[in-house]
Amino acid sequence: MVKKKTVYICNECGAKFPTWAGKCSACGAWGSIVEEKEENFNKRKSFSVGDTARAVSLSQTLEETLLERIKTNILTLDEAFGGGVVKGQVILLSGEPGIGKSTLLLQVAYQIAKQGSKVLYITGEESSSQVYIRGKRINAISENIFILADTNLENVLTNIEQLNPDFVILDSVQTVYSSELESSAGSVSQVREVSARLTEIAKQKNIPVILIGQVTKEGNIAGPKVLEHIVDTVAHFEGERGNAYRVLKIVKNRFGSAGEIAVFNMTSKGLEEVKDPSSFFLSEKPQGKSGSIIFPYTEGSKPVLVEIQALVSKTVYAVPQRKAQGIDINKLSIITAILEKELNIFLKDRDIFVNVVGGMQIKEPAVDLPLALAIISSFYDKPIDNIASFGELGLTGEVRSVYYTDLRIKECEKFKVKKLVIPKSVEEYQPSFVKVSSLKEAVVKVFNEKNF
């Protein structure tokens, strides 16, 4: 047998190189190049004419897509997916180990099976009996759920052909390997091959396939970025260990809008839907304490009120500490720099810790202004009870407008928030609005501080 050549593949963009390098010259990513065996991907790809899809009218396609959604009957999940899972849709669900991916998907399998459909659950991470034990615990045993404990892709595909299921779940994409490739399970080529072949079969048979994806230490999906391009939908399952809240976020969806979320509560009997996440997240918000503010978060159609906390304290170190949970640490550095410059305050002898209560990861710029106000509230030790805020901060301290203003305001009104500190550009007027055009103006109006 001819020995296969070693190649170096970029995890981010899939580019191949003859030698290793610290930086990918194709996409510019650092430390993303890994060693692999050269694989001949082209040798199998010979389809007969019969396999070729036929062109159909666009209007007809749309109608078909609209009709063929399968409900998981987990209401918040169906809503997040845009009204259920579409037949032939390939979903990648990623999340840290132990967050509850297998639990959620076994619950989904059970709900689908209850409707009389056949579900194939392929487990490469656990044995069938481990899945059974989990099924018993969460009351999700059904004769319509078929378990296959196998990691060989060809066997998996044969089982799909023979069983002809209505729904397929693969737990996880990194554990399955194709014997046609030499690289080991979880490598870039294998992950790409496994997801491409399952996508092929999902489209051919018109059945939904959910792939579970592990994440790396940095929180990215383990495997090439191209994986996210192959699948129709990418969902992240987030939460803090030791905390019961779990948030499913749709980050890409070819069959609905991205940015949708579904919130769950991990109980001893599996995941429970949280129908009103705002009251859930605010249920333990302290009153009369500084450093806490309400932020109406949304990147889709469902706004959620979350609590942003900050703690500013005198440092004992030469270099002050900056720690952030649920918020990018670089964002914290930038906001701190803007605060020092605009308000003329000294924070270099203070440690600053910020936290999004509930374990939600917030990446949207609308969190800038509430984050700055929470830090100031802790710095002056002045509580800001019943105040919510949103707005992006520019580097010169200006408050910029953000998306989904109406949705955020409505959610705050529902919870009877007394004051809303928001960008001046918001057209609507309510007595509770405090419209501001700069950070300085916001601090003057909220804290009555004028000493800068």
CA–CA dist 348, 339 (Å, integer): 11
What stretches of 196-299 adopt beta strand conformation (E)? 209-214, 233-238, 245-253, 261-267, 270-273, 292-297
CB atoms within 10 A of CB 193: 21
Q: 114 or 134, CB closer to ligand TYD?
A: 134
Residue 138 binds ligand TYD, judged by CB under 6 A: yes
Q: Is 385 left (phi over 0), alpha (psi -120 to 50) or beta?
A: beta
Residues touching ligand TYD, count (CB under 6 A): 15
Residue 137 binds ligand TYD, judged by CB under 6 A: yes
Residue 213 C-beta: closest distance to ligand TYD, Å: 11
Residue 99 binds ligand TYD, judged by CB under 6 A: yes
Residue 170 C-beta: closest distance to ligand TYD, Å: 12
Q: Choosing among Mg ion, ligand TYD, none, which partner's interface includes residue 268 (Cβ < 5 to 8 Å by kind)?
A: ligand TYD
Task: Say if residues 315 and 349 touch (Cβ distance below 8 Å).
Answer: yes
Sketch the per residue contact string, 252 through 291, with ligand TYD: x for CB under 6 A, - otherwise: --------------x-xxx---------------------
Residue 249 C-beta: closest distance to ligand TYD, Å: 15
Q: Which of 28, 31, 83, 97 binds ligand TYD (CB under 6 A)?
A: 97
By DSSP bridging, strand 85-86 and strand 69-70 are: antiparallel
Count CA within 13 A, CB hemisphere, residue 290.
Answer: 15
Q: 102 or 159, CB closer to Mg ion?
A: 102
Q: 31 or 97, CB closer to ligand TYD?
A: 97
Residue 130 C-beta: closest distance to ligand TYD, Å: 9
Which residue's C-beta sits nearest to Mg ion? Answer: 102
Q: 102 or 187, CB closer to ligand TYD?
A: 102
Residue 310 C-beta: closest distance to ligand TYD, Å: 30
Q: 137 or 323, CB closer to ligand TYD?
A: 137
Residue 309 binds Mg ion, judged by CB under 5 A: no
Q: Choosing among Mg ion, ligand TYD, none, which partner's interface includes residue 266 (Cβ < 5 to 8 Å by kind)?
A: ligand TYD
Tokens of 185: 């399970």
CA–CA dist 186, 192 (Å, integer): 9
Give the three-state DSSP class for 281: helix
Considering only CA atoms, which of 251, 362, 237, 252 is closest in space to residue 296? 362
Long-range contacts of 272-278 (CB under 8 A, 24+ apart): 273/74, 273/75, 273/76, 273/77, 274/76, 274/245, 275/75, 275/76, 277/302, 277/304, 278/303, 278/304, 278/305, 278/411, 278/414, 278/415
Q: Choosing among Mg ion, ligand TYD, none, which partner's interface includes residue 270 (Cβ < 5 to 8 Å by kind)?
A: ligand TYD
Tokens of 255: 């069959």
Tokens of 91: 């979903």
Q: Which of 11, 32, 94, 102 binds ligand TYD (CB under 6 A)?
A: 102
- Binding segment for Mg ion among 34-42, 50-58, 97-105, 291-299 (CB under 5 A)? 97-105
Residue 215 binds ligand TYD, judged by CB under 6 A: no
Sketch the per residue contact string, 140 through 179, with Mg ion: x for CB under 5 A, - otherwise: ----------------------------------------
Q: Choosing among Mg ion, ligand TYD, none, which partner's interface includes residue 98 (Cβ < 5 to 8 Å by kind)?
A: ligand TYD
Task: Say if residues 194 and 168 touch (Cβ distance below 8 Å).
Answer: no
Residue 173 C-beta: closest distance to ligand TYD, Å: 13
Q: 103 or 178, CB closer to ligand TYD?
A: 103
The one-letter amino acid at 286 = P
Residue 102 binds Mg ion, judged by CB under 5 A: yes
Residues 395-424 that bind ligand TYD (CB under 6 A): none
CB atoms within 10 A of CB 113: 21
Residue 129 C-beta: closest distance to ligand TYD, Å: 14
Q: Where are the alpha helices (H) located in 123-186, listed in sequence order?
A: 128-137, 153-163
Task: Say if residues 356 and 306 touch (Cβ distance below 8 Å).
Answer: yes
Considering only CA atoms, which of 137, 138, 142 is closest in space to residue 121? 142
The one-letter amino acid at 223 = G
Residue 100 binds ligand TYD, judged by CB under 6 A: yes
Tokens of 177: 């390997």
- Binding segment for ligand TYD among 92-100, 284-292, 304-312, 416-424 (CB under 6 A)? 92-100
Considering only CA atoms, which of 199, 89, 206 is closest in space to residue 81? 89
User: What is the binding site for ligand TYD (CB under 6 A)?
Assistant: 95, 97-103, 134, 137-138, 266, 268-270
User: What is the binding site for Mg ion (CB under 5 A)?
Assistant: 102
